Structure 1
Amino acid sequence: MLKVGAHVSIAGGVDNAVENQLDIGGNCGQIFTHSPQVWDHGSIEDEEAAAFRDGTATSLEGPWVIHASYLVNLCTPKDGLREKSIDSMQQEVDAAEALGIDYVNVHLGAHTGAGVEGGIENAASALDELDVPEGVTVLVESDAGSGTKLGGQFEHLASVLEQSEQDLDVCLDTAHMFAAGYDLSSPEAVEATMAEFDDVVGFEHLECVHLNDSKHACGTNKDEHAHVGEGLIGAEGMRAFVNHDAIVDGEIPLVLETPTEDGKSFAWNVDRVQELRDDHDA
């Protein structure tokens, strides 16, 4: 079963995400529970949550992922920002439980002078403050690695998983990996990069992929997404990635965060991923 979908809007009610996903041909996906640029989470009405759960169970393969606010910084040495980040994450994992969502995805953030080791320690201890409901897993996302942001190296992800007392897993973003210097532009490069991930982190911790091509070259630390197969990762790299044994055998959900431009939107990219998988199977 190929699980592919996109990050869709919840405008008008979180239950609308189900229909929005179906409209683009997706069978799994991702949402924000509120504007990712503000701390205020608002509230999700019980009726909306029930309609979301029912619609998902009836119409989608799943899973869903909640993407945490962009304001969350788990690595920060600043007490005020740390507390806001922990509070925001607690609201996200609680929302996941209410919506029947398996995963909450979060970037580690920037250490802003605390250093790599200090930032990782801050992130692990912040995550340990959470009361994560049963059935919900926090995913740490790979990063493009610019400035003092952590998560660009597989070792950062592995260290947080090792140091935290939470049962954490990982979401890989193909554009972020590429920007951070992990080549995915050929079958050979995909094989080498995925082998390194398995060696450092382990495929058993891979639970989701943000499937995005990149508008910038490998190792530039520039995070700008392109349509699948039309960026600098390219069609051959994307084909090799979506058909990698770890993705296929693990039935890893592929969540698109691709742009809407050049007359192409999520629906085009969902079809493209299907074609790349079908090309391999043929």
Structure 2
Amino acid sequence: MKIGAHVSISGSRVSSDDETPPYDDIRNAVHRQRAFGGNCGQIFTTSPQVWAQPEISDEAAEGFQEETEEKLEGPWVIHSAYLVNLCTPKEDLRRKSKESMQAELDAADKLGIPYVNVHLGAHTGAGVEQGLDNAANVIDDLDVPEDVTILIESDAGSGTKLGGEFEHLAGIIERTETDIGICIDTAHTLVAGNDLTTPEAVDETVQRFDDEVGLEYLEYIHLNDSKHDVGTHKDEHAHIGEGYIGEDGMKAIVNHPDLRYLPFALETPTEDGRGFAWNIETVKELRED
């Protein structure tokens, strides 16, 4: 099973075992992932709250790749900055979003990471069709490295944000000339109006995704439970099995024949004395042989 968490690369000296010397750079992510019990996962390369360029030395990049190959099983994914808005009609924001995405794609190439994950963003009044056109234009203007794929993440669907409906995901695939993939966030999918609370509901939602988008485009899953119910459009994650998806829904997701072999990255909260380690262990307990 490919299961891990979104881990931080920050800090001065981190090591998860006695055999590997500590580092003060992006290699922290590998050690933290192992400490949580994960074997794949997600990172930010820089602060997601500001327009900043990743700063990764050649030595750190080489070490990161070596550590990943030696100690992890599944692929990493870089999550783009929160400020990126591919759908925006505003030229300045579109330019900044493109520059930020290009920097993340270049960082992924340098680190040997196969995916860069991004939300479509909000059309802010331009309309769904124009928003999707804007996003496709930005994507097609990017210089995507040969071994890197852009993943469009499903959204909770509040306000003018796009990506909450499977139709939006299919729409961006149809519009762009770039080979892109999809990352489904289970909490976002639920609150956007897709039931995932029972095995039957999971089967139905997966089938609708296949019919409308295509399972061949699904390459990563953000595995999160939700503090809010179906169709509420409220994005707040819960511990695995303790939110509105619940244990039955989560068990159905991680064992579904069309999903079980995909990499899962958790973005669950750290609260109630529990964090990523507890949630990863819970997922492993739900997994059937």
- TM-score normalised according to structure 1 size: 0.97
How far apart are the structure 1 equivalents of 2:272 and 2:55? 36
Residue matched to 1:24:
36
Aligned partner letter, 2:8: S
Residue matched to 1:7:
6
Shift of 1:34: 0.2
Query: Which of 138, 142, 158 is the aligned partner of 1:130?
Result: 142
How far apart are the structure 1 equivalents of 2:236 and 2:100? 26
Measured against aligned partners, the alpha-carbon deviations of 1:247-273 in whole angstroms (never above 9, x if no partner) come to 12xx20000000000111000011011
Residue matched to 1:162:
174
How far apart are the structure 2 equivalents of 1:43 and 1:233? 38
1:56-67 equivalences under 5 Å are 56-67=68-79
Residue matched to 1:194:
206
Q: Where has structure 1 moved over 2 Å in runs of 4 or more? A: none
Residue matched to 1:226:
238
Residue matched to 2:253:
241
How far apart are the structure 1 equivalents of 2:67 and 2:32? 11
How far apart are the structure 2 equivalents of 1:68 and 1:75? 15
Residue matched to 1:179:
191
Aligned partner letter, 2:9: I
Shift of 1:41: 1.7
How far apart are the structure 2 equivalents of 1:62 and 1:34? 22
SS, match of residue 118 in structure 2: strand
How far apart are the structure 1 equivalents of 2:119 and 2:54? 21
Residue matched to 2:16:
none
Query: Which of 256, 259, 263 is the aligned partner of 2:269?
Result: 259
SS, match of residue 177 in structure 1: helix
Shift of 1:42: 4.2
- TM-score normalised according to structure 2 size: 0.95
SS, match of residue 172 in structure 1: strand
How far apart are the structure 2 equivalents of 1:41 and 1:236? 41
1:21-100 equivalences under 5 Å are 21-100=33-112
Residue 206 of structure 1 pairs with residue 210 of structure 2: no
How far apart are the structure 2 equivalents of 1:92 and 1:35? 12
- Answer whether contact 2:54 2:104 (CA < 8 A) is retained: no
- RMSD over equivalenced CA pairs, Å: 0.7
Query: Which of 128, 131, 136 is the aligned partner of 1:116?
Result: 128
- Answer whether contact 2:133 2:175 (CA < 8 A) is retained: yes
Shift of 1:43: 1.1
How far apart are the structure 2 equivalents of 1:33 and 1:144? 24
How far apart are the structure 2 equivalents of 1:275 and 1:62? 19
How far apart are the structure 2 equivalents of 1:43 and 1:3? 28
- Answer whether contact 2:54 2:103 (CA < 8 A) is retained: no
How far apart are the structure 2 equivalents of 1:42 and 1:224? 27
Residue matched to 2:15:
none
